[in-house]
Amino acid sequence: MAGNFEDIAKQFVDFYYNTFDTNRPALGALYRDQSMLTFEAGAVLGATGIVEKLTSLPFEKIKHQIATLDAQPSNEAGGILVLVTGALLIDEEQKPMNYTQSFQLVPEGGSYFVFNDVFRLVYGA
Amino acid sequence: MAGNFEDIAKQFVDFYYNTFDTNRPALGALYRDQSMLTFEAGAVLGATGIVEKLTSLPFEKIKHQIATLDAQPSNEAGGILVLVTGALLIDEEQKPMNYTQSFQLVPEGGSYFVFNDVFRLVYGA
């Protein structure tokens, strides 16, 4: 991945949700031992546990649709904060659920890994 | 503010929205020259511009209600990533709007300032 932080964020988000929707175990390549996931308040540390969590979610099919994507530099070392809002469809469900997800991407050897990952469904107020 | 990252995040978020809802100009104390705000895709750099943006939003009264709050350490220097979901009521409007907001807090002299701030309304899918 190359380019400015906005391009990198868009490339990452497209790749992340495409991988999530087609080959969840392959998401492991995006995390490291120090990576953190907070998924609906459940906290997991490290790539192995994160992939276990993501692959054990109780649905067969999922499709994410991105509504908004924002990015900012998160430090002077090239980190990127990303905030996504979107909708997802699970299995044969017809009604999408809204979600938000915040990532911090950290540079490593010409690419990036996910250091922070926080996911929440958004229910109507 | 003191305590672990989750306590600090909760203290910050309570203070932030209370200040936003009662005394918007005072939010300036939470930002620095290098702080970034992306508010509904509009990007602003620096405390002065951020306060101008926040105080010029076209409503008189606003009330935030937090639904969820998650936090993670964002680096080894004590930074904290915060993701909030919630609802807000503007002026005499009866129907709340859903929003999400992601912050990165950075330690400074025993307290914290807002380095990253990304706000988005969440519309039903």
Residue B90 DSSP label: E
Indicate if the pLDDT at residue A69 is higher than 70.
yes
B-chain CB neighbours of A75 within 8 Å are 75, 79, 115
Q: What are the residues whose beta carbons fall under 8 Å from the beta carbon of A23, sequence distance 6 or more?
A: none
Tell me the C-alpha distance between A16 and A106, whole Å: 15
Element (H, E) at B42: strand B42-45
The ranges assigned to domains in chain A are 5-122
Interface confidence, given as ipTM, is 0.96
In this prediction, residue B124 carries a pLDDT of 82
Work out the average pLDDT over A113-119: 98
Best A32, A40, A44, A75 residue to mutate vs chain B (most B CBs within 10 Å): A75
Tell me the C-alpha distance between B86 and A81, whole Å: 20
Q: Confirm if A42 and A36 have CB atoms less than 8 A apart.
A: no
Please tell me the distance in Å from B114's CA to the nearest CA on chain A.
11
Best B35, B68, B103 residue to mutate vs chain A (most A CBs within 10 Å): B68
pLDDT tens digits, B2-54: 469 999 999 999 999 999 999 999 999 999 999 999 999 999 999 999 999 99
In this prediction, residue A1 carries a pLDDT of 43
Interface contact flag, A98 B74, Cβ < 8 Å:
no
Work out the average pLDDT over A100-104: 98
Residue with tokens 């999922």: A62
pLDDT tens digits, B109-121: 999 999 999 999 9
User: Which residue in B95, B82, B41 sits closest to A67, CA to CA?
Assistant: B41
- Taking any CB pair shorter than 8 Å as contact, residues of chain A touching chain B are 36, 38, 41, 43, 65, 67-68, 70, 72-75, 79, 81, 83, 85-87, 96-98, 100, 102, 104, 115-116, 118, 120, 122-125
In this prediction, residue B1 carries a pLDDT of 43
Interface contact flag, A83 B123, Cβ < 8 Å:
no
Tell me the C-alpha distance between B15 and A52, whole Å: 36
Indicate if the pLDDT at residue A89 is higher than 70.
yes
Q: Confirm if A118 and A102 have CB atoms less than 8 A apart.
A: yes
pLDDT tens digits, A1-59: 446 999 999 999 999 999 999 999 999 999 999 999 999 999 999 999 999 999 999 99
In chain B, the largest separation of any two C-alpha atoms, in whole Å, equals: 44
Tell me the C-alpha distance between B55 and B47, whole Å: 12
Tell me the C-alpha distance between A20 and B77, whole Å: 31
What fold characterizes domain B5-119? Nuclear Transport Factor 2; Chain: A, (3.10.450)
Please tell me the distance in Å from B23's CA to the nearest CA on chain A.
24
CATH 3.10.450.50 fits A5-122, yes or no: yes
